[in-house]
Structure formats: structure tokens, C-alpha cells
Amino acid sequence: MVHLGVGNFHRAHQAWYTSRSPDAEEWGIAAFTGRRSDTADALRPQDGLYTLITRKADGDSFELVGALSAVHAAAEHEAYLDYLSRPEVAIVTITVTEAGYLRGADGHLDAGQGVVAADLEALRSDPRGPVTSLPAKLVAGLLARRAAGTEALTVLSCDNLPDNGAVTKTVVQDLAADVDDTLPGWIDDHIDFATSMVDRITPHTTDADRAKVQDACGYVDAAPVPTEPFSEWVVSGGFPAGRPRWEEAGATLVSDVEPFERRKLSLLNGSHSMLAYAGSIRGYQTIDEAIADPACRSWVETFWDEACRHLALPASNLADYRAALLTRFANPQMRDQLARIAADGSAKLPVRTLPTLRAERSAGRIPTGCAATIAAWVLHLRGLGAPVKDPGAAAAQKAANSGDLSAAVPVVLDILEPGLGGDQDFVQAVLDQADAIRPST
């Protein structure tokens, strides 16, 4: 396998699953960094070995992971093209964050970005010339693979965005068509774009983490990876050239990832947003502090009840997932900051909270859990709790501060979802929840 964007998350997730697969000795990962070479510089002297620090509530455990067979800087483009030309390379995995896909508002490649234009010109001039963006890296690799007469390959996105396989295929095909009009057809015939849902909290590595490894394990590790005990990987793809037996290491192989994506977005991300606003208003700094508050936990459980009525997974699966979330949230070692989660609510609430709200209102119910989240967000916009860091919320923030709460809420709701401010029953539910959340004076 080749991996693009090696960092802590990849090493705590896909590389870890591969190392635990029963056929791990048959697979190696040639990993390439992002723009910076720090990770390669740290891992090369260690032959790619690193320590995974699992932060359990009752203490840390340590595991040496050897899935990386080679680590390269992103600039080592010729090495990358050499790997992609080899028939034994069966999979390219990706973790570059959502921004790395360079999509425009229409979901297609944003050709107006300077890096896209520069990479397009570079590939037209020399298919083996250096490029920097993810779409261009993939197109360059596929050009090299076609030129070598090597065919079947799976491209597997492991970034945290819905339907990431289709997203990857779209931006690759958009660029491929501009580079060589014969390439899109070859891609359709030979390349499998797989989809995955990923989940594991993985903080940045600190000097304290390095010291912990040295104390506990007796060796120096320049690049250990701290993470939580929970992990999930749901994968859908054809894998025509084969893959590790990830399902025997705990991954879930399915025909459709979407129900799992929706579950995560609603239950994990939706409750994260609720706790970020309500918890910080009630004086807490971290997720574990907020979920320990009986009122916050009650709002979360109510929201989960509402969301679960509209999720297409078995009740037992949803119950297990909820129990796992409570354990994760309560882990005092993770210290997930509410202020970080509170950022960009104007973009997050429409995908985390509004789908459940719409479904509940269509069923004739008043979703008080959704109302609590939105009430807490309005109070956040009015200056309570975590600082507002949300460039997209200028209009909503102005409306939230334009008068008393009863006048402001309908206006904010209409900005969040046109027409919602006219739903008098829901407006009243938001006002009632705001009274319950904000500190008494």
C-alpha cells in the first residue's frame, strides 16, 4: 500500500488496523508526508516503528506498531511514481483533511485555485513532473501506472467527509480530463474508488508523551502517537487487487457506508456540538466535564432518542454506539476542549442537528433535544460560554444580539433554516431550553 498524508491519525487508525490484521506480514505501507517532512524525519531513523499510546480512563497502555515499511517526504515524487507503477501496490490510502480535495461549491474540482492551475500545467508539460495537490498526485500516479501497463488499484479515502470515495473520484476525474482526455476512461475501467468512515480521537504528540514512552518502555521514540481506546472503521469497496483482512482486526466491511456516516454525524458530532455550547455556558472546559453534568447528559440522551428514530441501523447497534460514546466522553485523559468543538457552528448545525429536527417536526413532534442545541448556540452567539470563532455566523450573531431573546430567536432560526423562525411551537421550545441552560441571575 501507499499512503498519502501520514500523520498521527493514519498511524493510530489505518496503519494500526493493518498491523493487527492476521495477514499483516504480507502487507507494508509506503507512507508520504504532507507538505512538511517532520514525520518522515522522525520516523526514518526508527525504521518506521512508533509507539501507540492508548489513553484509557485508568491509565496508559503502549503498543509498538510496525506497519510502515517506508516513510517519505512529499517531495520525493519519483519514489511515489515508482511505487504506483508496481503491480504489487494494490491500494492507495489518503488522509489529507477535507480541504485537501480542493472542491468548489458545486462539489467538483475548483479549477480556479492557483495550486490546481499550476499542477495542471505541470502535468501537461511532463506527466512525471512534481506536483503538490492531492488530485494531481493521484492523477500523476495513475498516469505512471497506465504507462507501466499495471492496472487494478483501489484508491481509499480515509478522511472525515461523507461519501469520500465519490468525492475522490470526482476531483480525480475532473483533473484527469483536463490533462489527457483518454485517461478518464482508463480510470473508469481499472481504478476502484472505495469509501470509508473513520473515527478515533488522536491528539498531537507532546514532549510529555515522548517521556511517557521512555519511562514505560525503556526506549526513545521521537514520534509516538497518543489516542483513545475507541476506534471504528467502516469500509465499502471492490479492492480488485486485494486488501489486508481488516475485518479480522475490527474493521466493518459493508456494501453501503452511508448509514454509519449518518449515525456518527447525528450521535457523535451532534452531541459534541450540544455539549460544546451548553457545557461551556455552564462553566465547563472539556467534554468529560460537561457529560458529567446531569443536565447536560439529559439533553444529550434526549437528542439521541430523537436522532435514533431516523437512523437506518438496528436498535442494538445504536444502543451499543451510544454506550460507547458515553464511555469516550467520560474519559478524563482525552481532555477534548469544548472551545475547539464550538467553532464554526453555522456550518456544523445544518448537518449535525437540522436533519433530526426536520424529521421530528415532519412526524409532528417537538424535538426538545434539538431545541436545546440550538438554544445553546444562540446563547453562545450572544456571548455566553466558549468564544465565537465562526466566520460564517456574522448574520446570525448580529441577529442574536439585536434585542431580547424572544425577539432574537426567530430571526436566528430563519437564518439557520429559512422558515424555521415561523414555527411558533419550536421557537417556544428553544426559548424554554435557553431558560434551562443559561445561568440564573
- pLDDT tens by residue, 47-59: 999 999 999 999 9
pTM attached to this predicted model: 0.92
Q: What integer pLDDT is reported at residue 49 of this predicted model?
A: 98
Q: What integer pLDDT is reported at residue 306 of this predicted model?
A: 98
The percentage of residues in the chain with a pLDDT greater than 70, rounded to a whole number, is: 100
Cα Rg of the chain (Å, integer): 23
Evaluate if residue 441 carries a pLDDT over 60.
Answer: no
- pLDDT tens by residue, 293-341: 999 999 999 999 999 999 999 999 999 999 999 999 999 999 999 999 9
Q: What integer pLDDT is reported at residue 344 of this predicted model?
A: 94
Average pLDDT over residues 211-218: 98
Judge whether 263 and 311 are in contact, CB under 8 Å. yes
Tell which wins on pLDDT, 240 or 35.
240
Judge whether 123 and 143 are in contact, CB under 8 Å. yes
Judge whether 271 and 278 are in contact, CB under 8 Å. no
In the numeric block, which cell numbers belong to residue 89?
A: 501496490
Strand ranges, E, within 281-397: none
Distance, CA of 181 to chain centre = 33
- pLDDT tens by residue, 333-390: 999 999 999 999 999 999 999 999 999 999 999 999 999 999 999 999 999 999 999 9
- pLDDT tens by residue, 15-49: 999 999 999 999 999 999 998 899 999 999 999 99
Furthest-apart CA atoms within the chain: distance in Å: 73
Q: What integer pLDDT is reported at residue 75 of this predicted model?
A: 95
DSSP 79-136: HHHHHHH-TT--EEEE---GGGG-B-TTSSB-TTSHHHHHHHHHHHH-TTS---SHHH
In the numeric block, which cell numbers belong to residue 124?
A: 501537461
Average pLDDT over residues 171-194: 98
Judge whether 32 and 80 are in contact, CB under 8 Å. yes
Angle between helices 134-147 and 114-125 (to 10 degrees): 20
Evaluate if residue 9 carries a pLDDT over 90.
Answer: yes
Average pLDDT over residues 67-89: 98
